[in-house]
Chain A
Amino acid sequence: MNAPFAAIAAPPERLRQSAARVDAVSITHFRLMVLMLLFVAATAVIAGKLAWMAVASERPTAGASTYGLIPPRADIVDRNGVTLARTIDAWSIAVHPDRLLNPPEIVAAKLAEVLPDRTEAEYLAILKSGKRFVYLKRRALPATIRAVNAIGEPAIALGREPERLYPQGNLASHVMGWLDQDGKPTTGMERVLDARLTANEGRGRPVALSIDSRVQAALETELTAAMVKHQAIGASGLVLDARTGEVMAMTSLPSFNPNAPSFGKVEDLANKSTLNVYELGSTFKMITMANAIEHGVVTSMSHRYDATAPLQVGRFKIKDDHPQNRFLDVPEILVHSSNIGTARIADQLGPERTAAFFRKLGFDAPVDIELGAKGRPLWPKFWARTTTMTVAYGHGIAVTPLHLASAYAALVNGGVWRPATLLKREAGQVPEGRRVISEATSARMRQLMRLVVMKGTGRKADAAGFRLGGKTGTAEKPRDGGYAHHSLISTFAGVFPMDDPRYVIIAMLDEPKGTADTFGYATAAWTAGPVIARTVARIGPLLGVTPNLARDVDESELLPLLWEPKGANPNAVE
């Protein structure tokens, strides 16, 4: 800084020297300045970078830890969390025929060896087609992938793509439905819940159905066994929570595998429990009786109705399957499943009250459940006197098995009808429902149902200790304007435990044949009844119903009303 003064005061030769020094100093100053600027720039860059990092880097969100865990479609689980449907990354094998490097004949031969789904000629046709992309197999096993990879053809593309897997296979397949090739739902709960399953929020949380897979498995096993034994063409089963309307199990046999629905028969894809309507026969007698008691048509259990001879109404003749040929009181009408007695009571009820009661139970509309495929009941077009009489014992009106289950739930649960559901209902979500019969009538119906299983046609369904009650129903299939006498629909509608009704269980066999150990009978008592007994013994403990031989419904006022001829075999089942 004081260099200029030095220069002025300095002698000339020193002045020259000092001029050179001034140059050097200024150069140094300049260099220092550049260096400083560099430092400043570096600092600014660092500061800028720091500031940018502070601003730009966002906090790690909670979702970051679920990396790769949000499936493209939510899982479906049963009420206990058992997976029923899940999206997995499956291996797929495809080929680009236009990019083939090896001779197609050799590749086709090797492919036919590894993937025996198609023949060698078919593979050759695919490879020579010149297409850009052809799927050879989807959802392949790792071992297959390894073998295909070993072929060493670069045109074969191995990829991972989301696939819907149903780990339980055929279990509850009609409830689940399935996805088509493009991942679009076709039927079942997959379709009903599609929006919820694919919505961005909630894909990570599975949807819980009301189904209990243990119950479902037991019901399907026992029904299948009975179906095979009696060579039935189909079967349908239901377990319904009588208090909440939740469907614990719903099956339609033969079932299909939703993992490969194309291998099943088309007619098996229909859900017999909600889509097909049947004349369910004598199971309707309970409904008629509840209606009659509720409306005061039946005032006394001991009132006797004439069942001495078939009832002639116009051209129509009502007969009994197990004719007693005597006067029957109310419990006896149900225990012996008398059409004549029921028809007489229905005649007193009249068409208006019968139709109104059926409407209250929802028999005039498709069944109330989430599923899309629902059958419309066959409701009588004209209520003649005979119509009133026949619908009373389940002929001339056709409903789905689920209609019947909901109705039975209402008859025993204190008289409140609630819509059925396939979604798990929490305690607070149970709908109010609508009252169809009084509490007192419901109590009487519980006694009557238990009596039928204790003493009547339902004896084969009695699972010891489970206090099962219910009613058999055997109906002939309508055919060519009349009835086919050897094509039966055998149904059993039961409720357990009858002293505190929890579950309605229905088993229906379509066209069962009699066997040697049923003495040729194909009626519900012999075919559907044993299914109920075995299923209830299995599912009762699972559902928290402990069998107890020391408890039962109080039948003391009804038992004396049953007359048994002397010397009759008390254990005979007609």
Chain B
Amino acid sequence: MMAARFRSITWVAVAVVPALACYLVTQHVAAERAELAKVERRIGQTRLAIRNLETELGTRGNFAQIERWNGQTFALAAPTAEQFVGAGVQLASLSALPAIARPLVPAGASTGVTQAAVAPAAPAAAAVVRTAALPDAPAVAAPAAVRRVVAKAVSAVAVVRQVAFKPVRRAEPVVEPEPQPMVRQAAYVKPARDHAAPTKVAMLTENGPLGAGTLADIGRLANAERGSRRR
């Protein structure tokens, strides 16, 4: 009886509830869409702000201003042709110039830029070039030799070392008492660890250019430095 009486209402309810549900969905969608529009508007406003800031930055840093800074504040000049390096060989030759007295700094830091640039092309060359450039007095023969070696792209390490050490032999009396070159020498000794045998055979015999005492000194300094660097 009751069910029969409420049947029509039930039908109405059946019709209305989904409709209401659908309406809720649309409301939700509309709200989401409004949110999206708001975000997009904010994106637009941000882009506009970026554009305005770009304009301001561009106007404040225009070429006239940069020119003023370059010319008057920093006194910059156009680079000359000598400042352009065309090839790796030319780059390597830069560090083989007659050495001027450099401050005592750990190896690696002193010629950092040059070394880094050379290293990918000829890994072994980097260390050698530095050594050749360091002895102050006999730098006459060294650059030429080194340049030749670097040009050969340095595969045979032993040969390189031979060439590079020659000036040291002649300079020994002058160089030895000075602690500074020796420390640099020590910095060089490090890569030689990997190829210990050829080093001993090729250069440093008992009556060779470097006596046992010198070698011991070098070794001690090298150890000291290696230790200090580890710390």
Interface residues of A (CB under 8 A from B): 32, 36, 39-40, 42-43, 46-47, 49-50, 53, 60, 64-69, 82-83, 86, 88, 165, 167-171, 213-214, 216-217, 221, 464-466, 534, 537-538, 541, 546-550
Which of A49, A167, A546 has the most B CB atoms < 10 Å from its CB?
A: A167
Indicate which residue in B20, B37, B58, B62 contacts A46 across the interface (CB closer than 8 Å). B20
Asked whether B79 lies within 8 Å of A541 as measured between CB atoms, the reply is yes
User: In whole angstroms, what is the CA distance A65 to B12 when docked?
Assistant: 44
Answer yes or no: B3 CB below 8 A from chain A CBs: no
> Chain B residues with Cβ under 8 A from A42's Cβ?
16
Q: With A43-B16, A69-B47 given, can you name 18 additional A-B contacts, CB distance below 8 Å?
A: A39-B12, A40-B15, A46-B20, A46-B22, A49-B23, A50-B19, A64-B40, A66-B44, A67-B41, A68-B48, A83-B58, A217-B63, A217-B64, A217-B67, A464-B81, A537-B78, A548-B81, A550-B86
> Given A36-B9, A167-B62, A221-B71, are A50 and B45 also a contact pair (CB < 8 Å)?
no
How many Å lie between the Cα of A481 and that of B122 in the bound state? 72
**Contact (A171, B12) CB under 8 Å given A53-B26, A217-B67:** no
In the assembly, what is the distance between CA of A50 and CA of B81, in Å? 76
**Does B43 have its Cβ within 8 Å of any Cβ on chain A?**
yes
Could you list 7 A-B pairs, sorted by A, with CB under 8 Å? A40-B12, A50-B19, A167-B58, A170-B64, A537-B79, A546-B84, A548-B84
Q: Does B216 contact A (CB under 8 A)?
A: no
Q: B62 touches which one: A47, A50, A169, A466 (CB < 8 A)? A: A169
Q: Which residues of B contact A (CB under 8 A)?
A: 8-9, 12, 15-16, 19-20, 22-23, 26, 30, 33, 36-37, 40-41, 43-45, 47-48, 51-52, 54-55, 58-59, 62-64, 66-67, 71, 78-82, 84, 86
B89 nearest CB across to chain A (Å): 12
**Cα distance A216–B63 when bound, in Å?**
9
Residues of A within 8 A of B36 (CB): 60
By a CB distance below 8 angstroms, the chain B residues around A86 are: 55
Residues of A within 8 Å of B67, CB to CB, are 217, 221
User: What is the CA–CA distance of A379 and B67 in the complex, to the nearest angstrom?
Assistant: 40
| Distance between Cα atoms of A65 and B47 in the complex (Å) | 10
Q: What DSSP secondary structure best describes chain B's contact surface?
A: helix
Q: Which residues of A contact B19 (CB under 8 A)?
A: 43, 46-47, 50
State which of A43, A170, A534 has its C-beta within 8 Å of the C-beta of B15.
Answer: A43
Which residues of A have CB within 8 Å of B15? 39-40, 43
* In the bound complex, CA of A534 to CA of B23 (Å): 75
Q: Which 9 A-B pairs have the closest CB atoms?
A: A465-B81, A67-B44, A547-B81, A217-B63, A537-B78, A167-B59, A538-B78, A167-B58, A39-B12
Complex: chain A residue closest to B70, CB-CB: A221
A86 to B16, CA, bound (A): 57
Q: Are A171 and B44 in contact (CB under 8 A)?
A: no
User: Least Cβ distance of B16 to chain A in Å?
Assistant: 5
The smallest beta-carbon distance between A177 and chain B, in angstroms, is 18
Q: Most A CB atoms within 10 A — which of B30, B55, B71, B78?
A: B78
CB atoms of B84 and A465 under 8 A apart: yes
* A32 touching B8, Cβ below 8 Å: yes
Once the chains are docked, how many angstroms separate the CA of A67 from the CA of B47? 9
Please, which residues of chain A bring their CB within 8 A of the CB of B54?
83
Complex CA gap A169/B22 in Å reads 60
A373: min CB distance to chain B, Å: 24
> How close is A149's CB to chain B, nearest CB, in angstroms?
20
CB distance from B179 to the nearest CB of A (A): 40
| Given A49-B23, A546-B86, A547-B81, A36:B12 Cβ within 8 A | yes
A33's nearest neighbour on chain B, judged by CB, is B8
Instruction: Contact check, A171 vs B62: say whether CB atoms are below 8 A apart.
Output: yes
Partner of A548 from B30, B79, B86 at Cβ < 8 Å: B86
B64 CB, min distance to chain A CBs, angstroms? 6
Known contacts A36-B8, A217-B67; A60 and B84 CB within 8 A of each other: no
Q: Which residues of B contact A548 (CB under 8 A)?
A: 81, 84, 86
Taking CB as reference atom, which chain A residue is nearest B63? A217
Cβ of A88: which chain B residues have Cβ within 8 Å of it? Answer: 52, 55
A residues near B37, Cβ cutoff 8 Å: 60, 64
B55 touches A69 (CB 8 A): no
Docked complex Cα distance between A88 and B50 (Å)? 12
Instruction: Say whether A68 contacts B44, CB under 8 Å.
Output: yes
Residue B9 contacts which of A32, A50, A466 (CB distance < 8 angstroms)? A32
Using known A-B contacts A36-B8, A43-B16, A548-B86, determine if residue A537 contacts B80 with beta carbons closer than 8 Å.
Answer: yes
Measured between C-beta atoms, what is the minimum distance from B56 to chain A in Å?
9
User: How many angstroms between the C-alpha atoms of A60 and B66 in the bound complex?
Assistant: 44
Bound-state CA distance A271–B78 (Å) is 28
Known A39-B12, A53-B26, A64-B37; contact A549-B59, beta-carbon cutoff 8 A: no
